[in-house]
Amino acid sequence: MTPCPDDPPAPRHPPPRRRRTPRHRIGEGTAMGSRTLDRESDEASEVLARTRRVVDPVLRAAVHSLPGTMRRIASYHFGWEEADGTPAHGDPGKAIRPALVLAAAQALGGSAEQAVHAAAAVELVHNFTLLHDDVIDRDATRRHRPTAWSVFGSADAILAGDALHALALRILARDPHPAGAAAAARLADCVIELCEGQHADCAFEKRSDVTLAECLAMAESKTGALLGCACALGALYAGADPEAADALDAFGRRTGLAFQLIDDLIGIWGDPKTTGKPVGSDLAARKKSLPVVSALRSGTPAAAELAALYAAGRPLDEAELLQAASAVDRAGGRDWAQTEACDRMAAAMDHLARAVPDPAAAGDLLTLAELVTRRNR
């Protein structure tokens, strides 16, 4: 569902299949525009399914090369196995990041087959961060099942995440493609930025003076950096020049920030039946998400009400969760986040138009960008 009054501005001379859809706020149901959204959802599903068909064999081969314990934890995390090692058919995630690698490569004249190792490396890094994030945040569920740390323990989940990180770099180091070395260096720089973003996110929980600028910078490092890196790696594997790679990196970063803004909205108002997480989990943990920081800095009575709830020094109960969500909304945090997501996507489209002169070639990248801005889980 789109959070925007209109679609994000498309690149110059957009493909004719794009349509406008009405305004919709996360957590509010609507039947309007459902046919358009269903069609675009089908387009995104096909892009992601194609990605899975190409990337999954490389991903599974990499994970299966791990030592026994690490392999078992990683296979559980990906939804391939139960905790006891028996086969499972769990949710392995949407594969948005590897899809961006392949789409970027194809948009600039490369092929999915050439970039498959880069796509697998990006997906491994993403899942390494998820394993660590779940430990840091003490999240009990992910993808509708218990998190790896809650099943195997924190130490084992952290080590499995470390192993996935090492696998990502090994895949690129062993890739005979001429872009492999540059891709490995770029991915390593990205991981450093991800760590800095995660550190800032944790530090914000202990501060009452977090600014919106700080919060946006943290979100770009924590979320936007990997989406930008995914697009840049696709460009490198297509043999693109540095300017095109940097423009696609900027496209991915802006898209990633929009993704984080909407993810933060879902963290407050998303339906647990579709998110797989408890209702208001971010509020319960008193996280300084983007809508919350916007609300806290609004100077409104609702901001003072929210600040008092966050100062409680303990997880919020069910009644307090409802009160906090209402305060964020009344303080303007919800509308600010949705508007900001639209603005970031507009900037992303400008960068995409610079990187890909032929808009028809950018079809899959546009589809993935729309998936980000229309998601409700």
Output phi, psi for 279, to 5 deg. Answer: -60, 135
Which residues span the domain enclosing 332? Answer: 34-374
Say how far apart CA 184 and CA 175 lie, in whole Å: 10
Helix (H, G, I), strand (E, B) or coil at 200: helix
Average pLDDT over residues 57-62: 97
Question: Does residue 28 belong to any structural domain of this protein?
Answer: no
Name the nearest CA neighbour of 25 among 268, 191, 239.
268
Helix axis angle, 318-330 relative to 301-310, nearest 10°? 150
Average pLDDT over residues 298-306: 97
pLDDT in tens, 97-146: 999 999 999 999 999 999 999 999 999 999 999 999 999 989 899 998 99
HEC profile for 127-189? HHHHHHHHHHHCCCEECCEECHHHHHCHHHHHHHHHHHHHHHHHHHHHCCCCCHHHHHHHHHH
Name the nearest CA neighbour of 266 among 182, 372, 180.
372
Say how far apart CA 154 and CA 151 lie, in whole Å: 9
**What does the DSSP 8-state code read for residue 66?**
S
Say how far apart CA 312 and CA 204 lie, in whole Å: 16
Question: Does residue 5 belong to any structural domain of this protein?
Answer: no
Say how far apart CA 339 and CA 326 lie, in whole Å: 18
Q: For residue 242, what is the domain's CATH number?
A: 1.10.600.10
Question: Does residue 29 belong to any structural domain of this protein?
Answer: no
For residues 239 and 109, the answer to whether their CB atoms sit within 8 Å is yes
**What does the DSSP 8-state code read for residue 220?**
I
> How many other C-beta atoms are found inside a 10 Å radius of the C-beta of residue 274?
12
Confidence of residue 17 (pLDDT cuts 50, 70, 90): very low
Question: Does residue 284 belong to any structural domain of this protein?
Answer: yes
> End-to-end CA distance of the chain, in Å?
10
Average pLDDT over residues 174-187: 97
Phi-psi region of 19 (alpha: psi -120 to 50; beta: other; left: phi over 0): beta
pLDDT in tens, 111-121: 999 999 999 99
| Residue 18, pLDDT above cutoff 60 | no
Question: Does residue 365 belong to any structural domain of this protein?
Answer: yes
Output phi, psi for 62, to 5 deg. Answer: -65, -50
Say how far apart CA 58 and CA 144 lie, in whole Å: 25
Residue written as token pair 């803004």:
261
pLDDT in tens, 188-214: 999 999 999 999 999 988 888 889 999
| Residue 323, pLDDT above cutoff 70 | yes
- pLDDT at residue number 349: 96
Q: Is the dihedral of CA 366, 369, 374, 376 positive or negative?
A: positive
Question: Does residue 354 belong to any structural domain of this protein?
Answer: yes
Rounded percentage of the chain residues whose pLDDT exceeds 90:
73
- pLDDT at residue number 280: 80
Q: Are strands 145-146 and 141-142 parallel, antiparallel or unpaired?
A: antiparallel
For residues 283 and 135, the answer to whether their CB atoms sit within 8 Å is no
Bridge partner list, 87: 81
pLDDT in tens, 336-367: 999 999 999 999 999 999 999 888 999 999 99
Confidence of residue 375 (pLDDT cuts 50, 70, 90): low
For residues 175 and 117, the answer to whether their CB atoms sit within 8 Å is yes
Question: Does residue 337 belong to any structural domain of this protein?
Answer: yes
Q: Angle at CA 261, nearest 5°, toward 325 and 339?
A: 90
Name the nearest CA neighbour of 117 among 64, 170, 79.
170
Instruction: Say which residue, 31 or 93, is predicted with more confidence.
Output: 93
pTM of full prediction above 0.85: yes
Say how far apart CA 249 and CA 243 lie, in whole Å: 10
What is the token pair recorded at 368?
Answer: 């993935």
Question: Does residue 275 belong to any structural domain of this protein?
Answer: yes
| Residue 20, pLDDT above cutoff 50 | no
Say how far apart CA 179 and CA 176 lie, in whole Å: 8
Rounded percentage of the chain residues whose pLDDT exceeds 70:
87
Instruction: Say which residue, 11 or 54, is predicted with more confidence.
Output: 54
Count of the separate structural domains present in the chain: 1
